[in-house]
Structure 1
Amino acid sequence: MEDAYAKSVAEVLEAFGVDRTKGLSDSQVEQHARLYGKNVLPQEESTPFWKLVLKQFDDLLVKILIAAAVISFLLARMNGETGLSAFLEPSVIFMILAANAAVGVITETNAEKALEELRAYQADIATVLRNGCFSILPATELVPGDIVEVGVGCKVPADMRMVEMLSHQLRVDQAILTGESCSVAKELESTSAMNAVYQDKTNILFSGTVVVAGRARAVVIGVGSNTAMGSIRDAMLRTEDEATPLKKKLDEFGTFLAKVIAGICILVWVVNIGHFRDPSHGGFVRGAIHYFKVAVALAVAAIPEGLPAVVTTCLALGTKRMARLNAIVRSLPSVETLGCTTVICSDKTGTLTTNMMSVSKVCVVRSVHQRPMTDEYSISGTTFAPEGFIYDAGGLQLEFPPQSPCLLHLAMCSALCNESTLQFNPDKKCYEKIGESTEVALRVLVEKVGLPGFDSMPSALNMLTKHERASYCNRYWENQFRKISILEFSRDRKMMSVLCSRKQQEIMFSKGAPESIMARCTHILCNDDGSSVPLTMDIRNELEARFQSFAGKDTLRCLALALKRMPAGQQSISYADEANLTFIGLVGMLDPPREEVRDAIHSCMSAGIRVIVVTGDNKSTAESLCRQIGAFEHLDDFAGYSYTASEFEGLPPLERTNALQRMVLFSRVEPSHKKMLVEALQTHNEVVAMTGDGVNDAPALKKADIGIAMGSGTAVAKSASDMVLADDNFATIVAAVAEGRAIYNNTKQFIRYMISSNIGEVVCIFVAAVLGMPDTLIPVQLLWVNLVTDGLPATAIGFNKPDGNIMTVKPRKVNEAVVSGWLFFRYLVIGAYVGLATIAGFVWWFVYSENGPGLPYSELVNFDSCSARQTSYPCSIFEDRHPSTVSMTVLVVVEMFNALNNLSENQSLLVIHPWSNLWLVGSIILTMLLHVAVLYIEPLAALFSVSPLSWAEWKIVLYLSFPVILIDEVLKLFSRSPRGRRFPLRLWRRDILPKESRDN
């Protein structure tokens, strides 16, 4: 029943055919159960594990690797190879693919946990009226039409319409749905609000919320999926996970590379058809198989097998650095997404604010001798910690606040007319509240005011433990007075009162809405001498002006406090006693903004990131906060920058588009609006980060490019998010964005490094095959180079120091290619040199080496016909390990020098020295030690078909490798020049990683 909030109690009861005094009958329960279903959130059918595993292999590049591994194994068996050599290459490839698949499965499994944890917010039991009797039943048995009784501490078991109030008031904590920091007062009256949001439906109790005060009866109007909690679940189910920008680019690159590899492999095989019948192969079929092996080797060389592992490792290292910033990353790819975030949609409560209501201003009447004079105090401190100072209107700190009569009586009233508790949590090492936030704020004010006499000395209070300090001053007043009678808060009176006794004197303390308290006051307490004087119209007008200033301009939540001396011996109070009160003072409180938020907002603006404040609070309160944190800086008129959810939904399409481009504040929202905002921004190619902490935020967190949950948030929000802020601090997001940008820059560097290395390997094998030379490198050697000798330096490049201006440049575009234009040309040049240097080492050994056969070049490129010709050398020379050893070593060493080139994209090694990244230096040393071990330790040498090198051979390796640094220095010099920056290079496709719109 969606419109129950707009109907009267009688209409709702009639719609379900239920008697409010008897409840449903057994037959009605059965009928409604068949009609409306059970009160459970349906369990979503999870994806079978085997399907998740298979999904990880649904990639063209992966399929080519699998094919290469299978073919390699089959060819080895056909050639009669046995033991480790036959299984090594395919085994390594399958281990790589298995590791990558494991990461993917774990990531997707985590995404389903949010739906499971949503069920934890359903109530277990309910007190239900059926057949005229109340009984406690499992909440799952509730049906629409059931009459349910709820009280303090009860978790609401279903969506229900209020029917009867059994106490003066009923207050419900709806934070999991709306994010509001304060509980909501419920009422019986219907509301006629159009497009009502959860906050407007004050006569509805929502499933999963908690009653914090009062007792009432309500009729069930929705169960299971037809509840507020059910709508959140449905929204989460409809939300598909978006791939991160880097993952999209890598997937596109993989598809592009796979097609290129397939083309080159076919080309190599076709080009060499004429060599299939060469005598050395022993027949056409064997020749075809030989060049098929060459094509497989080419595929292994072209595919950067180590790239997924290096990307994962670099992102994992980034998560550790972010963890030190209090940003706990749950999804590795989200680390990189932060780097291109263009919009941060930030929840107000608890993220931009402390979510700890604090008294910030106090107003009392100083004297009324000639005209009313008021004293206004400001109070420092933005948390529940009993730490802070009181300042007068001139900004001077009060040394002894209790010496002011009004402040002293304010402290008394705040401590005694209060039902909350302030305590220190030793596990979390912070002060926590039990009860209403506004009442706890008054408790903290009492501690800041202090006590009369010696105990008020700061040095005395500072000697207490945190546990003792939490309520030391409050306990003092509670020990001085004995509470006799309490009149609870009610919506009609908008106040509460408590009768206290001390030394045979009875005093009634009252607090409530300023208009209610002022209407009942006849006197005021003067701050200059503590006297009580009649409340004149002039004084009343002055106080009302102060109240309007507090509530209007400062948007503070205001309370007035008063007292009344009662007859000696009185043991109870009634509503009639709440008259002829003496006004003590006015307090203004707010959920204060975090101190570091203003600077963080400015950092976002400098970095080209727009911050949109998203809140369920009313528009004026939210606008006041935006002014305080600098989000509305330089704006005199908020029109066009501040919208409520209903205002935004009512805009025509064109105006809505304009609003999205300028919006700074989105207020009075509910869960569906948050998700709608994220989707609208993504439609305009914005990369959106969304913060949240409640169950209500889960759909938007899941839909956002990066969902950020608060550490103090619900388990559902955390499970739906990509990152969790351990300190609930907006400034941490900004620090994480800077880290994300640095990680992306380093990721680009090592991707380019690995691409240029693989281009070199492809050039080496392709040129050798076209020229008709023997195999320069075999697949197992290529795997070793790709995984180990390339992988270690590539990972170390992830430790490159970030640029100093990383947070002063605009975010990169979503469709920005990792490698494009001039950069691709640069790495083609580097790759070509790597390949040619590798071949040169191979040729050198056969033609010029003292240890080689000294063959003419023509003999080398016609090795296939060796057995058919008379030669002065044995044909077995072409199976010698030395030439491929020289080639492999040149490839390794030249790539070590190339790793140094990637310390910076454009800066010379004369400017950025190698020791600026000691991890890279260490990885190069370790790589060379591993390579030397492969060359000189016999079991490894036999495994990789290599042999030890002589000093002369090492010198040739260095001569051929070092020029890669000189070539890249020239290319960097050209890049730094104005002409280089305007270099109009265009490829057959503009980008090696093609652009793709979000809609594709």
Structure 2
Amino acid sequence: MEENPFPAWSWSVEQCLKEYNVKIDKGLSSYEVEKRRERYGWNELTKEKGKPLWRLVLEQFDDMLVKILLVAAFISFILAYLHGDEYEELGFEAYVEPFVIVLILVLNAIVGVIQETNAEKALEALKEMQCESGKVLRDGYFVPDLPARELVPGDIVELRVGDKVPADMRVAALKTSTLRVEQSSLTGEAMPVLKGTSPIFMDDCELQAKENMVFAGTTVVNGSCICIVVNTGMNTEIGKIQTQIHEASLEESSTPLKKKLDEFGNRLTTVIGLVCLIVWVINYKYFLTWDLVNGWPTNFRFSFEKCTYYFKIAVALAVAAIPEGLPAVITTCLALGTRKMAQKNAIVRKLPSVETLGCTTVICSDKTGTLTTNQMSVTEFFTLGGKITSSRIFHVEGSTYDPKDGGIVDWNCYNMDANLQAMAEICAVCNDAGIFCNGRLFRATGLPTEAALKVLVEKMGVPDVKARNKIRDTQLAGSYLIDRSTVKLGCCEWWTKRSKRVATLEFDRIRKSMSVLVREPTGRNRLLVKGAVESLLERSSHVQLADGSLVPLDEPYRQLLLLRHLEMSSKGLRCLGLAYKDDLGEFSDYYTETHPAHKKLLDPACYSSIESELVFVGVVGLRDPPRDEVDKAIDDCREAGIKVMVITGDNKSTAEAICQEIRLFSEGEQLKGASFTGKEFMALSPSEQIEILSKPGGKVFSRAEPRHKQEIVRMLKEMGEIVAMTGDGVNDAPALKLADIGIAMGITGTEVAKEASDMVLADDNFSTIVSAVAEGRSIYNNMKAFIRYIYLKFVFFFPFRVVNI
């Protein structure tokens, strides 16, 4: 399949249409589609040719110890057969030893073949992520459900909310004011990404920066658009990942224990062979005799029967020396280890992974969902007090979407002053998110930031005492769920009933805010706004104080608020500004689409003027917080001599802030030489890369693409490190497959990541990896002790057997 050479992201929409020779209102003709399919092929992931079954079976016996055991079983069988008269009383028992050896080897081979097929399962899971159909413009007409495999470069496709993207495409036109795409599984970004149509003037552009491109396998979560197909099939980003997974599966190396067993087997073969040869040779006088004439041997006589007899004795000695029970003991030990790890939420998919964990020297961890909870939460917020120079900062506990998880520290503002009421109203009503409970896990529907704001409102409560008490009693009674899954948010519901929403001004890139028009209990309308702090401050004319009074917002005060915002941002928080507007002019009595001012609400160009002369209320700081246990787990790794490296697709400042918080870096440590984007690291020379990776201490790689993760893992392995790699997305799969042990997330992980991994975490927790490593070390040490026992037993007792013979 030929790759399209055009860098569509760097061109204007008009250039793209010209290069692909297509009109946005006509689409491709059927004749042109056929011509392009001959050139580019079908839009589907090709199935790599796997190894035939017979070859997989044979490869399981390509092991020195296994070969020794096969020879031992064969010789034991021959000896039992040749000495049938001697074994007549034993009957079938004479053949038990060779039968048991063969049975053990066959069972080991079956386990090995099953494990080999996991790579193919990962590729099958990848194919399931592909879209089945799409709305495509052909011959001037939209085909509503055209099979996705029939797409070719140049096709015009319409995407809507909930659609899965069928190919890599250039956004040509937005049908709504905003378009957001969930692409975390492909790029590792924690939040849905805003997409636009503007060209990006970069030659070597990283995936996360291609904001005018949508990629196959990702999902539209907000808005709709018209796109031009750029790459199909194996030339899409997901197709490249399939190629990387397949290549990684071909590079799989032996586990540390297998290497030691091979070494042990080679030594054992050499020693046993030499000793048996010596035993046979020193008995030559029994099968080779001669007469002495004048001191010289003459008239040689050779007894073939006695020669074979002593050869059988030497062979029997070799069979006795071979530790046929070793594979069974190792398999049993590993199986018991998997049970212990499963009790600690680490589910092992491949038996050898148990001992590989015990040898781990480097853990390459994803950030989102592993080191953090992958649930946005409000950490702190500030509003102004009695004066514009006095800000009140409130700290919030809790790191999940469970409203009962934590609360506001030292919260005594239950009746809430005017500022806090305005903040709660904006967070509850200017919001489209919801929360549902999947078992014991609380999840967000809609944008994670908006869900976190709703959780904050639940922790703040409502100013009405009777309503507050009623909501509290409902929560205490456990009446949290509606329809067994949707979480009832009593405080948010109180605000939405009080302030009825009549219109929405959607978010866009220009003004960086969204707002809703609501009907207040007074009968007048109010505009509630949330968005980027800098953008809202530019359009604000006043600031509200705690008592509800308004103060003009001049430049010195604006700079003071920006300074407070900077302090929050420096902690790695995602900050949202909150504001409102009461003096709405022609919109003060807006109620339905028949209102004269409704036309302005249909034109996004008017939104900035509507959202002007705002009253600034405060700032909310959110983040995906680190798990509570992670910092202790990092310390445990450090004490155990295991290096931890964080590799994430998220942005650099957020990654650094989280890594400092979990104490991956010591306090005050300079991050120069320890923090890189994937692009920065790959631009270094190989010697510089190796020098950085070999230095002690933590490392963080941000904005990392799948190929970056894979290359870092490959370099570490070439340096002699035993690498454990964690991940949850499609973008992690190649590195998971290449690592000595790939660890996938059980809750948030994609099926592709799970199938490419050796181990799955049932709780998605980094500390579980550390406890599993400790268990793996214990198992590995036990197996090494057993091998030493066999070796010493051989060294001490083998000579006595030789002497007896």
TM over 0.5: yes
Matched, 1:43 2:47: yes
Residue number among 495, 501, 508 corresponding to 2:513 in the alignment: 495
- How far residue 283 of structure 1 moved from its aligned partner, in angstroms, is 9.0
Q: Does 1:582 align with 2:615?
A: yes
Higher mean C-alpha deviation, range 46-55 or range 376-385: 46-55
1:420-431 pair list within 5 angstroms? 420-425=433-438, 427=439, 429-431=440-442
Residues 691-840 of structure 1 mapped to structure 2, 5 A cutoff: 691-711=726-746, 712-760=748-796, 762-769=798-805
Given the alignment of the two structures, is residue 70 of structure 1 paired with residue 79 of structure 2, yes or no? no
Query: Which range moves more in the overlay, 466-475 or 630-639?
Result: 466-475
Q: Is this contact kept in 2: 1:390–1:401, CA < 8 A?
A: no
| 1:659-717 residue CA offsets vs partner (Å, 9 max, x unmatched) | 11236111111100001111111222121111100011000011111111111201111
Aligned equivalents of 1:348 and 1:92: distance in 2? Answer: 48
Equivalent residues of 2:168, 2:214 under 8 A apart? yes
Counterpart contact for 1:358–1:590, Cα < 8 Å: yes
Question: CA shift at 1:69, angstroms?
Answer: 2.8
User: What residue is the counterpart of 1:535 in the other structure?
Assistant: 553
Q: Look up the equivalent residue of 2:121 and give its one-letter code.
A: K
Task: Give yes or no for contact 2:76–2:319 (8 Å, CA) kept in 1.
Answer: no
1:564 corresponding residue in structure 2: 581
Question: Residue 244 of structure 1: CA displacement?
Answer: 1.2
Describe how 1:273-352 pairs up with structure 2 within 5 A: 273-276=284-287, 284-352=303-371
- The CA distance in 1 between the partners of 2:255 and 2:468, in whole Å, is 57
User: 1:446 is aligned with what amino acid?
Assistant: V
Q: Which residue, out of 225, 249, 262, partners 2:234?
A: 225
Separation in structure 2 between the aligned mates of residue 743 and residue 49 of structure 1, nearest angstrom: 31
CA distance in 1, matches of 2:355, 2:628: 28
Sort the Cα spacing of 1:463 and 1:627 in 2 relative to 1 into closer, same or farther, 3 A. Answer: same
Give the whole-Å Cα distance in 2 for the aligned partners of 1:246 and 1:73.
30
Q: Which whole-Å CA distance do the structure 2 matches of 1:8 and 1:251 have between them?
A: 59
Residues of 2 paired with 1:497 and 1:414: CA distance? Answer: 11
Partner of 2:489: 471
Partners of 2:526 and 2:588 within 8 A in 1 = no
The more displaced of 129-138 and 68-77 is 68-77
Using the alignment, how far apart are the partners of 1:752 and 1:115 within structure 2?
40
After superposition, where does 1:375-524 map in structure 2 within 5 Å?
375-388=392-405, 391=408, 397-425=410-438, 427=439, 429-452=440-463, 453-456=465-468, 460=473, 461-467=475-481, 470-503=488-521, 504-524=523-543
Between 582-591 and 222-231, report the one with greater CA deviation.
582-591
Question: Any residues of structure 2 matched to 1:56-455 within 5 Å, and which?
Answer: 56-81=60-85, 83-135=91-143, 136-239=145-248, 240-276=251-287, 284-368=303-387, 372-388=389-405, 391=408, 397-425=410-438, 427=439, 429-452=440-463, 453-455=465-467
Cα distance in structure 2, aligned partners of 1:20 and 1:107: 48
Distance 1:74 1:555, change over 3 A: closer
Give the aligned partner of residue 595 of structure 2: none
Task: Structure 2: give runs of 5+ residues left out of the alignment.
Answer: 290-300, 593-597, 602-606
Q: CA deviation at 1:742?
A: 1.2
* Larger relative contact order (CA 8 Å, sep ≥ 6): 2
Cα distance change, pair 638–194 in 1 and its aligned pair in 2 (3 A): farther
Is the contact made by 2:64 and 2:262 (CA closer than 8 Å) also made in structure 1?
Answer: no
Aligned pairs for 1:594-633 (under 5 A) are: 594-633=627-666
CA separation in 1, counterparts of 2:357 and 2:95?
A: 41
State how far apart, in whole Å, the 1-side matches of 2:688 and 2:117 are: 40
**Aligned residue identity for 2:790:** M
Higher helix fraction: Structure 1 or Structure 2?
1
Counterparts in 2 of 1:157 and 1:402: CA distance versus 1, 3 Å? farther
* Alpha-carbon distance in structure 2 between the residues aligned to 1:642 and 1:656: 12
Which range moves more in the overlay, 476-485 or 126-135? 476-485
- Structure 2 Cα separation of the partners of residues 389 and 310 of structure 1: 49
TM-superposed CA distance for 1:480, in Å, is 2.2
Offset of residue 139 of structure 1: 0.4
Q: Is the 8 A contact 2:69 2:101 kept in 1?
A: yes
| Aligned twin of 2:292 | none
429-438 or 251-260, larger mean C-alpha shift: 251-260
Structure 1 gaps, min length 5: 770-1000
Please tell me the residue identity of whatever aligns with 1:60.
M
Q: Which moved more, 1:310-319 or 1:58-67?
A: 58-67
Aligned equivalents of 2:664, 2:69: Cα separation in 1 = 51
What is the deviation of 1:232?
0.4
Closer/same/farther in 2, CA of residues 285 and 167 from structure 1, 3 Å limit: same
Counterpart-to-counterpart distance in 1, 2:457 and 2:310: 87
Q: What CA distance in whole angstroms lies between the structure 2 residues aligned with 1:324 and 1:513?
A: 45
Equivalent residue number for residue 825 of structure 1: none
> Residue 293 of structure 2 corresponds to which residue in structure 1?
none
Q: Quick check: which one's strand share is greater?
A: 2
Q: Tell me which residue corresponds to 1:638.
A: 671
Task: Give the drift of 1:206.
Answer: 0.6
In the TM superposition, what are the counterparts of 1:834-873 in structure 2 within 5 Å? none
C-alpha deviations, 1:938-969, integer Å up to 9, x for none? xxxxxxxxxxxxxxxxxxxxxxxxxxxxxxxx
Letter in 1 for 2:775: E
Shift of 1:761: 5.0
Report the counterpart of residue 679 of structure 1 in structure 2.
714
Question: Secondary structure of the equivalent of 1:403?
Answer: coil
Q: Cα offset for 1:537?
A: 3.0
Q: Call closer, same or farther: CA 1:421–1:344 in 2, change over 3 Å.
A: same
Rounded to whole Å, the distance in 1 between the matches of 2:283 and 2:25 is 93
- Cα distance in 2 for partners of 1:12, 1:264 equals 76
Tell me which amino acid in the other structure corresponds to 1:189: S
2:704 match: 669
Q: Which amino acid aligns with 2:112?
A: G
Q: Please, which moves more after superposition, 499-508 or 33-42?
A: 499-508
Report deviation, 1:92: 2.1
Aligned residue in 1 for 2:571? 554
RMSD across aligned positions (CA)? 2.1
Distance 2:72 2:639 in 1: 49
Note the C-alpha offset of 1:367.
2.5
Cα deviation for residue 33 of structure 1 reads: 0.5
Letter matched to residue 619 of structure 1? K
Matched-pair identity in %: 48
Does the CA contact (< 8 Å) of 2:187 and 2:705 recur in 1? Answer: yes
Q: How do residues 965-976 of structure 1 correspond to structure 2 at under 5 angstroms?
A: none
Shift of 1:251: 1.6
Deviations 1:764-816 (A, max 9, x none): 432222xxxxxxxxxxxxxxxxxxxxxxxxxxxxxxxxxxxxxxxxxxxxxxx
Which deviates more, 239-248 or 498-507? 498-507
CA displacement at 1:455 relative to structure 2: 4.2
Shift of 1:459: 5.5
